[in-house]
Amino acid sequence: MSTEAHQKVTAGHLKRNAYLYVRQSTMRQVFENTESTDRQYALRQRAIALGWPSGQVIVIDSDLGQSGASAVDREGFQQLVAEVGMGRAGIVLGLEVSRLARNSADWHRLLEICALTSTLILDEDGIYDPAHFNDRLLLGLKGTMSEAELHVLRARLRGGLLNKARRGELRCRLPVGLVYDAAGHVVLDPDKQVQETVHLLFETFARTGSLRATIKYFRQQSLLFPARVAAGAHKDELAWAPLSLGRACSAVHNPWYAGAYAFGRGRWRKQPDGRYRHERLPRDQWHVLIRDAHPAYISWQEYERYEQQLRESAKALGFERNAGPAREGPALLQGHAVCGLCGSRMNVHYYIRKDGMIPNYVCVGRGRLFGDPLCQSIQGVEIDAAVGQLLVDAITPMALDLALAVQQEITARLDEADRLRHRQVERAQYEADAARQRYMRVDPANRLVADSLEADWNFKLRALADAQEDYQRRRAADRLIVDEQERQRILALATDFPAVWRDPNTPQRERKRMLALLIEDVTLIKQREITAAVRFRGGATTTLTLPRPLTAQQMRATHEDVRRHIEGLLDEYTDAQVARILNERGMRTGAGDAFGTVSVKWVRRSAKIKCLKERLVEEGWLTVKQVSAYMGITRSAINKRRVQGKLQARICNDHGQWLYWMPEAKAMFSSGKLKSVSSTTGDAV
Ligand SMILES: [Zn+2]
């Protein structure tokens, strides 16, 4: 090789730099496999022996601790490719050069660029010129072999792991609340606080049926959730943090809590940018699932039910809205209203009015995706009230049990939360004691250690004080909610379902939960009346009929009494006079305003009531034109006679128009002897 090698190296190569690429794929290899690193650095001597001045041998070792499986994030390798591409490299040195890149594509790209820039490649076996076909073939083979080696290695490791997992013997990272005991068996965490908190998570979820309500409860009660630190100096230590939705979600989804050994619930997928993303697999694709493998927090049946519940909650946001968990809004039938026309679940829409949020039960119908108009929309206030009344009337025998259960639950929850918060204080106390003992045990002469231990002790004492203060504050707050007097009152209430139901302090969510216990669904149809068919759990049904709620226009309409009043007054008075009289008598329009000429006119027109002039003309009063035609005199002459009192006349509207009373002329007009005159306008036809 040596003679041939020297023939391959030319003066042109020597003018350029030699690059030594040093790599170890993991940090552990960097520390433990120092021999390999030494061998890589020894290649430097080979370059010098081939004629490169030592100053021209450049070492690239910034990729120590990076895997070779892809060039992404390997700065050193990219630098090498750049140098070769710009023709600055005469030779590239590396131990088993094919390992420069364990990914065939990266490797072949490097070979290509080396061939174009006539850069040599050197490893322990020899020196290669990628511009020569034979050398390139050999290098290519080496790259393929190296990739294959990696594949075989991985497959073997994975196969071993899977076999072990199939027997349930592979140790996995356990979710918080489960630990391995000395014999390697999975057991519940002996830390009582951890255990109880995990239990509380599942109990709260079972009670509320929703993850969001669960984390909300933890936050309201200032409860923290434990986690085991995954890596770093504090690996496996407990950390307490507020419960997040993500952690609550993965806990409820985690089959380990139900006593099952599960492996391969997800897989890592490579992204186009070289990063990896985790995907959750459906249960039938899990590698291993062994039930009843270890002690559990919840039964397998509970686990399956929670999964079902989470799926349903997800559906509540989807196309065919199904019954979701009870939420805060005032709509009582949320999740229980069914459209009587098309059979879909009805949504709740709210709109804001002066007196609060008004629910509407809306069916978007089956044609939502096609832009069809709404199927039906029904105002919910009256329906909610009627269904509530129905419950109050119908459920008396059940009332005691139900209300008592609700009450007991509230009390139990407060006690339970109090106990758990006290655990936090106990833990802080224990940690402070431990820190004190550590400080006491150290030799006072060892200032460095003593100082840091003292600081630690101080820190723990502060944490203890905080925990105590927090505990007292929360306890006082709870006391505020239920002091003894209150407790008696609630207990008295607990015997009375209607009172609990009607109590304005009962949150609407609780009312909805009570309703969900009693009622399966309510089918609504809006026709001339509203029909609500209530189906109780257990199969009994009742149908309620309600009048249609008033439209906005109807709600603003003038009250019937006021309208009759106006009708009566118009026998004698003009519109403006009527308005004044109504205001004097304290009457208001439908919208609640004072009357004016315009609003009287409006009521008159919409109710088709005749005005004063029309009434007078009907009675036989004559307009000035008719009088003029009858008497054969001018308007001014008529006015003169009126002023002199020779004619009986009266004003008929707000414009000051006069009408005249002439019984003798009246007959002539009605018999048609005189020219007909329009009675409403007074104009001659
Ligand atoms: Zn419908």
pLDDT tens, residue by residue, 118-167: 899 888 788 888 888 888 888 888 878 877 888 888 888 888 888 888 88
Q: Which residues of 188-209 are buried (b: 16+ CB within 10 A; e: fewer)?
A: bbebebbbbbbbbbbbbbeebb
Dihedral pair phi/psi, residue 595, rounded to 5°? -80, 150
DSSP letters, 145-214, are HHHHHHHHHHHHHHHHHHHHHHTT-S--PPPTTEEE-TTS-EEE-S-HHHHHHHHHHHHHHHHH--HHHH
Please classify residue 43 by burial: count the beta carbons closer than 10 Å to its beta carbon, then call 0-12 exposed, 13-18 middle and 19+ buried. Answer: buried
Q: Is it the case that residue 486 has pLDDT exceeding 70?
A: no
**Displacement of CA 4 from its chain's centroid (Å):** 71
Q: What is the mean pLDDT of residues 255-266?
A: 92
| Terminal-to-terminal C-alpha distance of the chain | 129
Residues 6+ apart with CB under 8 A from 346: 337, 338, 339, 361, 362, 363, 524
Percent of the chain with pLDDT over 90: 9
pLDDT of residue 366: 62
Asked if 391 and 511 touch (Cβ cutoff 8 Å), the reply is no
**pLDDT, averaged across the chain:** 80
Residue linked to tokens 């943090």 = 241
30: pLDDT confidence band, cut at 50, 70 and 90?
low
List the single range of 215-224, 279-288, 510-519, 615-624 with lowest mean pLDDT: 510-519
DSSP3 helix / strand / coil % (the chain, rounded to 5): 50, 15, 35
How many angstroms is it from 346 CA to the middle of ligand 1? 7
22: pLDDT confidence band, cut at 50, 70 and 90?
confident
Radius of gyration of the chain (CA): 45
How many angstroms is it from 341 CA to the middle of ligand 1? 5
Question: Which 3 state secondary structure label does DSSP give 256?
Answer: helix
257: pLDDT confidence band, cut at 50, 70 and 90?
very high
How many angstroms is it from 524 CA to the middle of ligand 1? 9
Residue linked to tokens 């434990």 = 226
Asked if 383 and 405 touch (Cβ cutoff 8 Å), the reply is no
Q: Among residues 141, 145, 121, 143, which one has the least CA distance to residue 131? A: 121
Angle (CA) 595-597-602 rounded to 5° is 85
Asked if 558 and 582 touch (Cβ cutoff 8 Å), the reply is no
358: pLDDT confidence band, cut at 50, 70 and 90?
confident
Q: Is it the case that residue 187 has pLDDT exceeding 80?
A: yes
678: pLDDT confidence band, cut at 50, 70 and 90?
very low
pLDDT of residue 148: 84
Give the separation between CA 488 and CA 188, rounded to whole angstroms: 39
User: Which ranges in 363-446 belong to alpha helices (H)?
Assistant: 381-394, 396-441
pLDDT of residue 323: 54
Q: What is the mean pLDDT of residues 187-193?
A: 90
User: Which ranges in 570-658 belong to alpha helices (H)?
Assistant: 575-584, 597-606, 612-619, 624-631, 635-644
Active site residues: 25
Total residues belonging to the chain: 685
Give the separation between CA 663 and CA 660, rounded to whole angstroms: 10
302: pLDDT confidence band, cut at 50, 70 and 90?
very high
Q: Among residues 259, 263, 225, 230, which one has the least CA distance to residue 245? A: 225
How many angstroms is it from 344 CA to the middle of ligand 1? 6
Please classify residue 518 by burial: count the beta carbons closer than 10 Å to its beta carbon, then call 0-12 exposed, 13-18 middle and 19+ buried. Answer: middle
pLDDT of residue 319: 42
Q: Is it the case that residue 1 has pLDDT exceeding 50?
A: no
Q: Is it the case that residue 2 has pLDDT exceeding 50?
A: no
Q: Which residues of 243-266 are buried (b: 16+ CB within 10 A; e: fewer)?
A: beeebbeebbebbbbbbbbbbebe
Asked if 358 and 375 touch (Cβ cutoff 8 Å), the reply is no
For residue range 384-437, list pLDDT tens digits in order: 989 888 887 766 555 555 555 666 666 677 788 888 888 888 888 998 899 888
Residue, of 406 and 587, whose pLDDT is higher: 587
pLDDT of residue 200: 93
For residue range 633-671, list pLDDT tens digits in order: 888 888 888 888 888 888 888 888 888 888 777 777 766
Asked if 106 and 35 touch (Cβ cutoff 8 Å), the reply is no
How many angstroms is it from 513 CA to the middle of ligand 1? 25
pLDDT of residue 320: 44
Dihedral pair phi/psi, residue 276, rounded to 5°? -115, 145
Q: Among residues 515, 531, 536, 600, which one has the least CA distance to residue 566? A: 600
Percent of the chain with pLDDT over 70: 81
How many angstroms is it from 345 CA to the middle of ligand 1? 8
How many angstroms is it from 578 CA to the middle of ligand 1? 48
Q: Among residues 259, 291, 249, 292, which one has the least CA distance to residue 174? A: 259
pLDDT of residue 401: 56
Give the separation between CA 211 and CA 676, rounded to whole angstroms: 83
Q: Which two tokens stand for residue 442?
A: 């150290």
Q: Quickly count: other Cβ atoms within 10 Å of residue 535's Cβ.
A: 16
What type of residue is 68?
Answer: G
Give the separation between CA 482 and CA 196, rounded to whole angstroms: 24
pLDDT of residue 313: 72
Q: Is it the case that residue 337 has pLDDT exceeding 80?
A: yes
Q: What is the mean pLDDT of residues 440-451?
A: 77
How many angstroms is it from 366 CA to the middle of ligand 1? 7
188: pLDDT confidence band, cut at 50, 70 and 90?
very high
Question: Which 3 state secondary structure label does DSSP give 526?
Answer: strand
Dihedral pair phi/psi, residue 261, rounded to 5°? -90, 120
For residue range 70-85, list pLDDT tens digits in order: 555 667 778 888 888 8
Asked if 398 and 374 touch (Cβ cutoff 8 Å), the reply is no
Q: What is the mean pLDDT of residues 178-187?
A: 90
Distant-in-sequence contacts of 48-53, Cβ < 8 A, 24+ apart: 50/5, 50/6, 50/9, 50/91, 50/122, 50/127, 51/9, 51/14, 52/14, 52/17, 52/18, 52/90, 52/91
Q: Is it the case that residue 309 has pLDDT exceeding 90?
A: no
Give the separation between CA 364 and CA 353, rounded to whole angstroms: 23
Give the separation between CA 80 and CA 59, rounded to whole angstroms: 10
Q: Which residues of 107-146 are buried (b: 16+ CB within 10 A; e: fewer)?
A: bbebbebbbebebbbbbeeebbbbeeeebbeebbebbeeb
What type of residue is 652?
Answer: C
List the single range of 44-53, 96-105, 457-466 with lowest mean pLDDT: 96-105
Instruction: Indicate whether this model's pTM tops 0.85.
Output: no
How many angstroms is it from 321 CA to the middle of ligand 1? 12
For residue range 612-637, list pLDDT tens digits in order: 888 888 888 888 888 888 888 888 88
Residue linked to tokens 């802080």 = 428
List the single range of 204-208, 460-464, 488-492 with lowest mean pLDDT: 488-492
